[in-house]
Amino acid sequence: MVKFVISMSRAQKRFVLFLLDLSLVPVAFAAAFVVHSGIARSFGAIALNWPLVPLLVVVAFTLSLSLGTASIKLKQYDMLAAQKTALFAALLAVSSVALAELGKLNIPHGFHVVFGLVYFAFSASSRIFLLHVLMAIYSESAAITRVLIYGAGRTGMTLVASLRNRSDIIPVAFIDDNATLRDLVVAGLPVYSGVHIEKLLKQYRIDRIILAMPSLSVQKQTFLSRRLAKLGLEVQTLPAFSQLIGEADLVDKLLPIRPGEFISREPFRTETASNLFNYSDRSVLVTGAGGSIGLELCRQVIAHQPRRLVLFEMSELALYNAEMEFRVLAEGTGIEIVAVLGSVLNGNVVSRVLIEHKIDSIFHAAAYKHVPMVEANATVGLENNAIGTAVIAQKARDLGIKRFVLISTDKAVRPRNIMGASKRLAEMIVQDLAKRSPKTVFSIVRFGNVLGSSGSVLPLFQEQISCGGPVTLTDEAVTRYFMTIEEAAHLVLLAGSFAEGGEVFVLDMGEPVSVNDLARQLIKASGYSVRDAENPDGDIEIVTTGLRPGEKLHEELMIRKGAQTTAHPKIISVREDHLSELETAAALRDLSDAIEADDVDLAQAALARWILGFSKSQGVQDNLPKNGSRVERN
């Protein structure tokens, strides 16, 4: 019986449902008399009016063909299908009235209403019953794959609709960690929390889990896959699964556009250069390991098979999430993952960690980087970004750490805001230590915006578009340098590997991208149109809000002209002016005094005194400092 049901063709299944539509007519006719007249009086009424039944069967035959109720799959019997069944029953009841009047049968009008309702109840309930029988048969069959779909969003719902066209794969439920979806029924399937997976495996006898969350990064999908695989499940991401079942075109409909496609930049290729410093079998520390850049650096460092990876982070939540991900990624590789909660401002903690874990290389990515936030909290931002760099860089020099790489930003070039100034001062601190460090190779890697990082315009625009707009733009003329976060981290590792000491490496960011054009491309890629003067009936409006304090229209990557090529075409070495040892000490003293007093004006005066292009008058000027101000020099 099980083999026969599973092997039935679609035409055979349609025929069974067609017979069901017809056979329910006499059953509903008899039941309606019982309901309407009572059992005692129903037998005589049924016998007297039975000639009406064959005519109603003919009507049902016509309605089934015209409405296509027999073509509705049991797995797809949803609200729309139920509405078709209700229409079928209503038309059948109306036909019953008309035929009774034509035949001059003495049938109360109330009977026809009952007949229609009974037929609808029998038809809908019989299909639900058959579906449960079918699911029970499939659950006992090894030929049917029962899948659990992780992600009850648009992608998951589209995937369910596609799988319902197949007879060999049965989607049984959703898993989604969104609390608002819990215990709901989406696309006809129940939604459960991730904590119930083990229970669901036994309840539904799951064969496979499909990750239907293409917006997650590859690394996060890998992390989730490995966690689920520990339960003994076969886990597949959507692209691999779609290719497996021969519906690769489904991927094109569901996968979001990759960030790199908006910046007209050639996809980067992972490569390694020969005779360079190798991170394998080394002990590597990444500060700010829970941030966007820090996380990607850690992922790529793990690929180099270090002996130990130390995650240094001041946010407990960010550190917890990072540790959970990297313990899974490092499982079975022998790489030791160490999570350290602390601030780079705490010299004692920094020293202990560097000594205890025998650190070979430091990637200093920890920084407050959001321009308006640092502008509003100037002394805190300066302390973390500049003083914190001085603390950890000095400890690295004192302890003879082999390599120290500072992650910097294009906003450090002729800074017009506190954040940029703090990063330029951090660069000068590292430049100064590089000149007088016989054991530690110090280097700086400077680049622009990375797509996908926290605070990046891309996720902000995507969120605004998903809410129906408007998309906010500071100025229509704003341009920015953009690079994918994966490429930026890859080039940082390469630059750090062939540094010889004191270099400021600038990553080739390509041509500046108009943020206005980026917003328009993203709106169109999301399936909407831009609402403007030329298209007043468009979907999403772009609103200009004005530059925020400290923001530039255009960013730069180098202070001085002139650059040298390196072993990689996308990594450029530039020569930048810097302060002497005494001047660096004086700059740090001035800044420390301002921070100690929590005096923003005093802090701005210190920055204007020592950093080229920064002026406390308007926050910033693009011209050189006034006479009497100290400037960066060799």
Report residue 619: phi and psi, to 5°.
Answer: 85, -45
- What is residue 307's three-state secondary structure? coil
**Residues annotated as part of the active site:** 411
Q: How far apart, in whole angstroms, are the C-alpha atoms of residue 305 and residue 302?
A: 5
Structural contact between residues 322 and 298, judged by C-beta atoms closer than 8 angstroms? yes
Using CA of residue 490, residue 494, residue 495, residue 497, what is the dihedral sign?
Answer: positive
Chain centroid to Cα 423, Å, comes to 29
List of long-range contacts for 152-158, beta carbons under 8 Å, 24+ apart:
152/176, 152/178, 152/181, 152/186, 152/187, 152/191, 153/212, 153/213, 154/254, 155/212, 155/213, 155/214, 155/238, 155/254, 156/186, 156/187, 156/212, 156/213, 157/186, 157/187, 158/250, 158/253, 158/254
The secondary structure of the chain in percent helix, strand, coil, rounded to multiples of 5, reads: 50, 15, 35
Q: What is the rounded radius of gyration, in angstroms, for the C-alpha atoms of the chain?
A: 34
Q: How far apart, in whole angstroms, are the C-alpha atoms of residue 575 and residue 577?
A: 7
How is residue 616 annotated by DSSP? S
Which one-letter amino acid corresponds to residue 232? Answer: G
β-bridge partners, 283: 308
Structural contact between residues 276 and 469, judged by C-beta atoms closer than 8 angstroms? no
Which one-letter amino acid corresponds to residue 598? Answer: D
Provide the H-helix boundaries in 193-346.
197-204, 218-229, 238-244, 249-254, 292-303, 316-329
